[in-house]
């Protein structure tokens, strides 16, 4: 694997290898000394042209816990704010001899374009409304761990509802691709105004009735309403959106007992998800955050050749 640009680039074997390796990496989070020498001498640059808390922090921790040198560059504090182009920025950074660029950008396809300009490994940390592959991996990791703990199964044959602002969600697009690769069935639930053009060709079921879908799903993933990307009237009022598509207290009761609830964050409490649902015993929101570090450790390890330097058996043994 040279780059990670899309969840669709991952085969079932590659996805399973990353998730299995993430299970090994997650053990590092419980150790007093959270360090492995796998990427010692490697340099990773987090190049974020959009604001981020969870993704940027977890990529930074992932690199540092693997002993890589990690540098954070944001658009607000770089020459981008002076008018420098994306091409000049990434070529300048790459010229310093970095091994990997983790890129978040507001333009769909930007990480792919960067691969045409530099030789470094490129990881897509979110591009416009296109994709966010490591988010899909951590969501799959979290759900797989939940199902294994409760009934010994995995995601194959499960039905996952993805609910909300699908039009603007790169998380939804990556999850559709990855969940299908892992054998799950996906149901997209949203008002017609928040279903993207061409969705009928996606390998999913489509519904506009959340109350009809919820009782039959094995997991539900709520999406953030991305009001910062909305320039028109996608729904009449926030209250009407909540009434139609929010995971409210009353809807929480219609889920089968123990049905896991996911949300990629940040959450708009009271809009797409109620406080009762966000904080429910079956909510996996914080587990998703914790999984983000382990999954991104696994992805960096795979991309930067860590497997050649630190065999998986030594990760299990806790070598540091």
Cα–Cα dist 289/217, whole Å: 23
User: Exposed, middle or buried by CB within 10 Å (0-12, 13-18, 19+), for 77?
Assistant: exposed
Cis, peptide link before residue 40, omega less than 30° from 0 = no
**Binding site annotation covers 29?**
no
**Binding site annotation covers 104?**
yes
177 C-beta neighbours (distance < 10 Å), count: 21
- Strand-pairing partners, residue 48, are 74, 104
**Binding site annotation covers 170?**
yes
H/E segment holding residue 93: helix 86-94
- Strand-pairing partners, residue 8, are none
- Strand-pairing partners, residue 269, are 273
**Binding site annotation covers 130?**
no
Rounded to 5°, the CA angle 64-68-72 comes to 70
CA distances from 102 to 8, 159, 167, 194 (A): 18, 31, 24, 29
Cα–Cα dist 138/7, whole Å: 12
133-151 vs 12-26: helix crossing angle, rounded to 10? 70
**Binding site annotation covers 265?**
yes
User: Exposed, middle or buried by CB within 10 Å (0-12, 13-18, 19+), for 24?
Assistant: middle
**Binding site annotation covers 135?**
yes
Rounded to 5°, the CA angle 50-53-58 comes to 110
Binding-site annotation: residue ranges for L-aspartate:
82, 170, 224
Binding-site annotation: residue ranges:
54-55, 82, 104, 132, 135, 170, 224, 265-266
Binding-site annotation: residue ranges for carbamoyl phosphate:
54-55, 104, 132, 135, 265-266
């Amino acid at each position: 694997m040279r780059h990670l640009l899309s969840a669709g680039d991952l085969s079932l074997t590659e996805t399973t290898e990353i998730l299995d390796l993430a299970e090994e990496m997650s053990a590092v989070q419980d150790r007093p000394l959270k360090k492995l020498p796998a990427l010692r001498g490697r340099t990773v640059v987090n190049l974020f042209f959009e604001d981020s808390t969870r993704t940027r922090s977890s990529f930074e921790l992932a690199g540092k816990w693997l002993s890589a040198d990690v540098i954070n560059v944001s658009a607000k504090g770089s020459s981008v704010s002076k008018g420098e182009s994306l091409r000049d920025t990434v070529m300048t950074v790459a010229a310093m001899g970095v091994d990997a660029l983790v890129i978040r950008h507001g333009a769909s396809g930007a990480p792919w374009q960067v691969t045409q300009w530099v030789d470094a490994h490129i990881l897509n940390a979110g591009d416009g409304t296109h994709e966010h592959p490591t988010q899909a991996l951590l969501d799959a990791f979290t759900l797989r761990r939940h199902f294994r703990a409760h009934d010994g199964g995995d995601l194959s044959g499960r039905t996952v509802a993805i609910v909300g602002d699908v039009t603007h969600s790169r998380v939804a697009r990556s999850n559709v691709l990855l969940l299908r690769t892992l054998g799950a069935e996906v149901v997209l639930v949203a008002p017609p105004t928040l279903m993207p053009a061409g969705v009928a060709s996606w390998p999913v079921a489509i519904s506009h009735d959340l109350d009809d879908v919820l009782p039959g799903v094995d997991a539900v993933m709520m999406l953030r309403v991305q009001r910062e990307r909305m320039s028109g009237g996608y729904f009449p009022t926030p209250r009407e959106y909540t009434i139609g598509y929010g995971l409210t207290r009353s809807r929480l009761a219609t889920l089968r007992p123990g049905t896991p609830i996911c949300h990629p964050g940040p959450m708009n409490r009271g809009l797409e998800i109620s406080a009762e649902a966000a904080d429910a015993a079956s909510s996996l929101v914080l587990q998703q955050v914790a999984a983000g570090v382990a999954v991104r450790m696994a992805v960096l390890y795979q991309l930067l050749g860590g497997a050649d330097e630190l065999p998986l058996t030594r990760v299990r043994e806790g070598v540091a």
